[in-house]
Amino acid sequence: MKVLNLFKILLAFATAALIVGTGTVAGLFWHFSHGLPDHKQLADYQPAISSRLYASDGRLLAEYAREKRVFVPVAAMPKRVLEAFVAAEDQRFFSHPGVDFIGVARAVIANVANPGKRPEGASGLTQQVAKNFLLTNQATLARKIREAILAFRIEETYSKDRILELYLNEIYLGSGNYGVAQAAINYFDRSLDELTLSEIAYLAGLPKAPNRYNLVRNEKEAYARRDYVLGRMLDDGYITAAEMQQARAEKLQYRRRGNTEVVQADFFAEEVRRNLLAAYGEKGLYEGGLTVSTTLDPAIQAVADNALRDGLITYDRRHGWRGPYARIADMSVWEEEFARIAQRRPLSGPPTWQLAVVSKVEPQAVQIVGLPDGEGTVPFSEMTWAGPTLAEQRVGAPPRSPKDVVNVGDVIVVEKVEKPAGQNAKPYPPRSYGLRQVPNVEGGVVVMDTQTGRVLAMSGGWSYARSQFNRAVQAARQPGSSFKPFVYLAAMDNGFTPASIVLDAPFSYDPGYGQPVWTPKNYGNDYLGPTTVRRGLELSRNLMTVRMAQQVGMKKVVEVAKEFGVVDQMGAYLPMALGAGETTLLRMTMAYAMLANGALEITPSLVDRVQDRNGKTVYRHEPRACRGCGEQAGGGKPVAPEIVDARKPFHDPASVYQVVHMMLGVTTRGTAGRLAALGRPIAGKTGTTNDARDNWFLGSTPDITVGIYIGFDEPKTLGHGNLETGGGNAAPIYEAIAKQIFKDKPPTPFRIPPGLRMVKFTYEGGTIDEVFKPGTEPGSEGFNQTLLDGSGPWSGIDPGGPQQAGGGRRPGLTGTGETY
């Protein structure tokens, strides 16, 4: 009886405890269930994926991401990968309802039995998904309870495969790698299906402590963790004992992703990044997994980079030696000081340039140390250019010996050389070096498709490592004489022809309102007297340009400039006719391209297409349509795809072509006459601003337009003399680019608008075929060669007219014309 009563009492207590326990658990679940994130949002899971930029040849240009990740659906993952992670992290994953109660009990017992050790966790894969996606990493009991509740809900909603997919694409595996696919690439340079069993086991062991099991820093622990995972896979029946032994015997080869060739175009890539950031925001760029096909042509980019760099070096050497890169006062510790200098001030320049320390100055050479291959010699013949740089970019007397250039302890820039300049020069001894200098002048290059506005190459300066400021798009500078074609275009619109006569003589303009009288001058301060409009553009005559602008009216000039995108706003003041307003190299290149394509509107673009993470095209740049592209073949005869250009000229094509035709003379008989050697039609114009602070050249063919700018970041004169002009500094860079990109390509003529008249014309530069609008050609009633001098007309010029004051013949017309 007593036993029965005791049993009843115990049963009552047990029942009460069960009720209380159940109520407590239910109460806890009810309490912690409030305010939980909605687990159903995992159905729309879109992991943060890298956005990638590709050049036009398909090579990788740049990659942007907050978390390096490649998303792979679970169906595409090898079975061994899934098995390894389940064995390592949650061996009862396929049987438990979200929480592994056996694992929890084991962890509790282990933690009680070992109070001094780090507590063991018991979170299965589903709980880790709940924590990583929906909760924080806060180590509290409340978080663990919420994690368990969410795990149950996730298991009720999603399949085991879906949960694995979420886990394996989100898990952090060290070294900035998120997801198993990204880790496979960056640890072993392999895709998932290329991994060995040993590599899979290593990756599966990383989630517990990625840094602790780093293969490079902690090799012993990394191998121990891999072997542990292999053992678990054997215990769970995923692999055989033989496979385990073979995998354990394999030495892991850390092969960080490095074989992928990345195109070097830092200024271009950064401009694309800025544009994408403006269009899609930070989240879209750094997490959206965009695939961006850019317009970059890597071959042209390399040519542009090298040409700009060589041009800056040529200018810089011409203006003398500014002193050593750095100095070491105490040569007894030169190695330590040299290492600090190289670390603090990394050298920017061609890969063949190196830093070195002067150890000895001899009468005809300098001994240097600190080179990768030891010591070297700089012959004095490689230093003769290094006269001291003076004010106003002048150069002092050339050095008479090495001691006039360097001293012991100087850190200098050198480049290995084999022989002096010259065809029959005797080779130098081995380990001979030339003295080099990092230029302090800067510049930019833009190469653009004339017809579409696609930017094929962009160089924003000497080195992106030295300065990220992009002089092609961010530097607002005065275009100087490179603005003149738009003045001449306004003139062609308003009755002028290339044969019109304008007086090249002193000019003064009183703006009134107490402002000083403006008296512009020609470069060189000379005057040609009555001169054809064509010759005025070819020789870039300032005073003729100003007279035409005054006659036409600056408001019309401003309208043309805005129409072609040179500027958005510009004051209608006469000095603006000489390029006193500010613009960018990219805008000027675009404007010249639209001159060359016959006034068809283009928008400069660095991006051809943008696709989202699912491959859907969300942006495409192509001003023309393609008839037949993407169409399936029908039963009839196949038709080749055809590019259809529905754009209409936004400016009179006849006036535009007259200007382009005159610009062809600039590159054959004018300020860029050196380009005649290229043997192809190039419509170009040089530009030099006041005091030679900025040098420009822009040149167009029907296919390619190239713009070049040279100048200091802090504006100052580039120097004095004919070389410090657009024709002397910028045009040679164009020539170097054109020689490469047009190599083995036949010249392409410019398209002549219908109706224009080509007439033989003798002028100051020789006899050519000149372009006239219908009714303005010689022999027509509308033909007029009136002199514009600001005071009165001068007409009736004939081929055999009287001599000019300068001794040459006045321009005239001969022969017959032909209509196009």
Rounded distance between C-alpha atoms, residue 126 and residue 590, angstroms: 56
Q: Which residue is catalytic, options 83, 89, 337, 724?
A: 89
Rounded distance between C-alpha atoms, residue 225 and residue 396, angstroms: 69
Among residues 518, 503, 654, which one has the least CA distance to residue 575?
Answer: 518
Counting DSSP H helices and E strands in the chain, the numbers are 20, 26
Residue type, 188: F
Residue 324 CB-half CA count within 13 A: 20
- Is 381 among the residues known to form the active site? no
Other beta carbons less than 10 A from residue 264's beta carbon: 13
Rounded distance between C-alpha atoms, residue 155 and residue 797, angstroms: 96
- Is 780 among the residues known to form the active site? no
Cα separations in angstroms, 727 against 104, 708, 768: 80, 11, 23
Q: Which residue is catalytic, options 51, 198, 481, 700?
A: 481
| 345's tokens | 């001030």
H/E element, 587: helix 585-596
Rounded distance between C-alpha atoms, residue 569 and residue 562, angstroms: 7
CB–CB of 73/165 below 8 Å? Answer: yes
Residue carrying the six token digits 């109070």: 115
Q: What are phi and psi of 762, to 5 degrees?
A: -105, 125
Residues pairing with 354 in the sheet: 414
Cα separations in angstroms, 545 against 111, 134, 528, 653, 791: 90, 69, 13, 21, 16
Kindly state the DSSP code that residue 729 receives in the 8-state scheme. Answer: I
Residue 650 CA to chain centroid, in angstroms? 30
| 668's tokens | 């054959």
Q: In whole angstroms, how large is the CA radius of gyration of the chain?
A: 37
H/E element, 532: strand 529-532
What is the side-by-side order of every strand in the sheet holding 51-54? Answer: 60-64, 51-54, 291-294, 607-611, 617-620
CA dihedral 58→61→65→67, nearest 10 degrees, is 70
CB–CB of 308/302 below 8 Å? Answer: no
Within 8 A by CB and 6+ apart from 430, the residues are none
Rounded distance between C-alpha atoms, residue 17 and residue 356, angstroms: 83
Buried b (16+ CB within 10 A) or exposed e, 210-224: beebbbeeeeeebbe
Residue type, 377: T
Among residues 543, 476, 531, 452, which one has the least CA distance to residue 499?
Answer: 531
CB–CB of 304/323 below 8 Å? Answer: no
DSSP per-residue string spanning 620-636 = E--SSEEETTTPPP-SS
Rounded distance between C-alpha atoms, residue 219 and residue 227, angstroms: 12
H/E element, 819: strand 812-819
Buried b (16+ CB within 10 A) or exposed e, 384-400: ebbbbbeeebebeeebe
Rounded distance between C-alpha atoms, residue 16 and residue 4, angstroms: 18
Residue carrying the six token digits 């991994």: 195
Residue 362 CA to chain centroid, in angstroms? 45
Q: What is the 3-state secondary structure (H, E, C) of 212-265?
A: CCCCCCCHHHHHHHHHHHHHHHHHCCCCCHHHHHHHHHCCCCCCCCCCCCECCC
Active-site amino acid positions: 89, 481
